[in-house]
Structure 1
Amino acid sequence: MAVHDDCKLKFLELKAKRNFRFIVFKIENQQVVVEKLGGPSETYDDFTASFPADDILIINCRSPDSSRVRMKMVYASSKDRFKRELDGIQFELQATDPSEMSIEIVKARAF
């Protein structure tokens, strides 16, 4: 699975300049692409609201039970390469529904 250059550039921009609050990535046409850039004023609720209800997301590896098995396998096999491409990811959170990624859980993992 290829990682689009824009993913790396936006991630570096997030790390260095803090221009974004968050980035949501997805797999499209056999490569990882940027789905959404969260502006500096956006909140954690804005972040979670940007997730599709029944699709898989990469960075937090959210894989809802309603997702197709094939897509779960594609995302699972792509996750490690994607993390290697984006140097500096501090922690990983895997969740199958929003209750498993509450702000309290994220804070507990991050600190």
Structure 2
Amino acid sequence: MASGVKVGKDVEKQFDEMKLGHTSSFILMGINNGAIEVMKNAKKGEEGTSYEEFVADLPQDDCRYAVYDLGYTLKDGREQEKLVFIAWCPDTAHVKKKMIYASSKDALVKKLKGVSQQLIQASDYSDLEYKSVVEKVSMSK
């Protein structure tokens, strides 16, 4: 079911800058006035922002979409980087908001060409533990 929420032009632009120019470690997005937008009042993760800092920027009681430039090391020692899409809908967020975010996610992911095949759905901070996210992402193709 599609929600009718549109993806703002700024989202694709900032994602492309992140992907091609490595201008930031993460982008936080939210739904505002019927459109998915880059959060203006949120920190844009400057290159080198740690994963822990990124997780700390997620609101406790509100939903967000995020793309994080995840760097990690494989068991054989090779360094990897993947752009990871995260849908953050904490258990404490309003049910209606969680439903809108869930039904709008696919439209956003289609616009973000180059994100990892493995999407992360998180409803609790434990779902975002670094080791767990790396494991999920490293198994995707």
Q: Would the TM-score normalized by the shorter structure come out above 0.5?
A: yes
Contact map agreement 2:60 2:92 (CA 8 A) in 1: no
Superposed CA deviations along residues 16-64 of structure 1, whole A, max 9, x for unmatched, are: 0111111111111111111242001311111011101111112411211
Superposed CA deviations along residues 78-105 of structure 1, whole A, max 9, x for unmatched, are: 0000100111111211111101111001
Equivalenced residue count is 111
Q: TM-score, normalised by structure 2?
A: 0.75
Contact map agreement 2:25 2:48 (CA 8 A) in 1: yes
Q: Which runs of 5+ in 2 are unaligned?
A: 67-85
Which of 6, 21, 24 pairs up with 1:20? Answer: 24
Q: TM-score, normalised by structure 1?
A: 0.94
Q: Matched residues in 2 for 1:53 and 1:69: separation?
A: 14
- Which structure shows the bigger proportion of residues in helix conformation? 1
Which of 50, 55, 70 pairs up with 1:48? Answer: 55
Where do 4+ consecutive residues of structure 1 move more than 3 Å?
none
2:111 pairs with 1:85: yes
Which entry has the higher C-alpha Rg, 1 or 2? 2
**Percent of paired sites with the same residue:** 32
2:43 pairs with 1:39: no
- Which structure shows the bigger proportion of residues in strand conformation? 2
CA RMSD of aligned residues (A): 1.1
